[in-house]
């Protein structure tokens, strides 16, 4: 049975069996080249409309482990500026319509992987996922999200894999997603996505904590308790996932940058010696303190390393279709 419902991977909703997909990622970690012939003669195009380090490199390595060729195209810096609106009169900065460009990628590649970011200006546009949906509509081939306007599914699958890999007790771990300060407004993607995957997985006690007015879209947080008192939320946590996001309701703003929301060793004492996670890149001593990042509680490097296996599990499912 395929672990993906269709030909796209843009959200947890595209997965038939999350546990099996995570197990597959861990199996690739144990034996990276077991499916080296699966992607022979196939090519993945990785399009970046925004910067990346981990996503770009891990996807490339995952493709190579499956015998595929990966071609990276930094559309944002090196390509023609794309237009995504239907019936646009292209008299401004945009040079090529996605309707014309995407079918060409369909001729060159077997799988298309795309990173876009939100504008953080127009909530309706961002939450309609216009960019990635236009690629899906016009490319005519399997599409993988390398982070979209509202979600970051390969990151979240990685995070889930990392929890599965490190938690060995015969009970559900308590996982806390906590807001952290930052110097500029960031997307809600990683937080939305982490919440969506934790809820869909269902094998953790999941709690969200943030200052008032930083509510995320209920579509992603679901029934997870939202606790405004960070200390209370952290009690007995086994995992603390740290991430900043800008406001969702009054879209794309920073209301406060309260430094007391930064996780410290003192706060970690409230937890069950929790492992600390972050998707990276991280602003040291703004989002997370040196003392935490440099302590044995931090598993951010292990987490980033697992990006390869999550990507490999997803690509192999698409190749088998």
Give the nearest distance from C-beta 319 to ligand CP in angstroms: 22
Per the CB < 8 A criterion, the answer to whether 241 and 178 are in contact is yes
Q: What is the spatial distance between Cα 25 and Cα 23, in angstroms, rounded to a whole number?
A: 5
Residues 6-25 that bind ligand CP (CB under 6 A): none
Tokens of 21: 């997909």
Interaction mask 110-149, ligand CP, x per CB under 6 A: -------------------------------------x--
Tokens of 276: 């600390």
Binding ligand CP (rule: CB under 6 A), the pick from 24, 54, 174, 243 is 54
Prior bond of 149 cis (ω within 30°): no
Give the nearest distance from C-beta 14 to ligand CP in angstroms: 18
Per the CB < 8 A criterion, the answer to whether 275 and 297 are in contact is yes
Q: By CB under 6 A, tell whether 55 contacts ligand CP.
A: yes
Give the nearest distance from C-beta 312 to ligand CP in angstroms: 16
Residues 270-289 that bind ligand CP (CB under 6 A): 279-280
Q: By CB under 6 A, tell whether 156 contacts ligand CP.
A: no
Q: What is the spatial distance between Cα 114 and Cα 151, in angstroms, rounded to a whole number?
A: 12
Give the nearest distance from C-beta 103 to ligand CP in angstroms: 27
Q: By CB under 6 A, tell whether 64 contacts ligand CP.
A: no
Interaction mask 218-247, ligand CP, x per CB under 6 A: ------------------------------
Closer residue to ligand CP in complex, CB, 83/147: 147
Binding ligand CP (rule: CB under 6 A), the pick from 53, 88, 90, 95 is 53
Cβ burial, residue 77 (10 Å; 0-12/13-18/19+): exposed
Binding ligand CP (rule: CB under 6 A), the pick from 148, 155, 193, 316 is 155
Work out the angle between the directed axes of helices 153-166 and 54-65 (0-180°, nearest 10): 70
Give the nearest distance from C-beta 281 to ligand CP in angstroms: 6
Closer residue to ligand CP in complex, CB, 192/271: 192
Number of other CB atoms surrounding residue 95 within 10 Å: 12
DSSP characters for 34-73? TTTTTTTT-EEEEEESS--SHHHHHHHHHHHHTT-EEEEE
Task: Using CB under 6 A, list all residues that contact ligand CP.
Answer: 52-55, 147, 155, 279-280
């Amino acid at each position: 049975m395929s672990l993906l419902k269709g030909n796209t991977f843009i959200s947890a909703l595209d997965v038939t069996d999350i546990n099996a997909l995570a197990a597959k990622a861990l199996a690739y970690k144990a034996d990276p080249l077991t499916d080296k012939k699966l992607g022979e003669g196939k090519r993945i195009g990785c399009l970046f409309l925004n910067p990346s380090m981990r996503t770009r490199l891990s996807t490339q390595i995952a493709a190579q482990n499956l015998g595929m060729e990966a071609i990276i195209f930094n559309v944002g810096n090196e390509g023609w500026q794309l237009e995504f609106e239907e019936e646009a009169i292209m008299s401004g900065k945009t040079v090529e319509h996605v309707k014309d460009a995407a079918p060409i990628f369909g001729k060159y590649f077997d799988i298309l992987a795309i990173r876009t970011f939100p504008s953080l200006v127009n909530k309706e546009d961002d939450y309609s996922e216009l960019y990635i949906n236009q690629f899906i509509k016009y490319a005519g081939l399997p599409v993988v999200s390398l982070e979209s306007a509202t979600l970051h599914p390969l990151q979240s699958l990685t995070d889930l894999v990392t929890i599965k890999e490190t938690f060995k007790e015969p009970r559900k771990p308590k996982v806390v997603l906590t807001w952290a300060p930052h110097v500029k407004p960031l997307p809600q993607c990683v937080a939305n996505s982490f919440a969506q995957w934790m809820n869909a997985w269902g094998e953790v006690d999941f709690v969200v904590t943030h200052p008032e007015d930083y509510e995320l879209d209920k579509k992603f947080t679901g029934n997870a308790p939202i606790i405004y008192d960070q200390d209370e939320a952290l009690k007995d946590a086994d995992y603390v996932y740290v991430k900043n996001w800008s406001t969702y309701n009054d879209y794309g703003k920073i209301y406060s940058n309260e430094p007391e929301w930064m996780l410290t060793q003192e706060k970690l004492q409230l937890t069950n010696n929790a492992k600390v996670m972050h998707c990276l890149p991280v602003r040291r001593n703004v989002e997370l303190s040196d003392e935490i990042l440099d302590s044995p509680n931090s598993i951010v490097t292990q987490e980033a390393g697992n990006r390869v296996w999550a990507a490999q599990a997803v690509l192999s499912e698409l190749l088998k279709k």
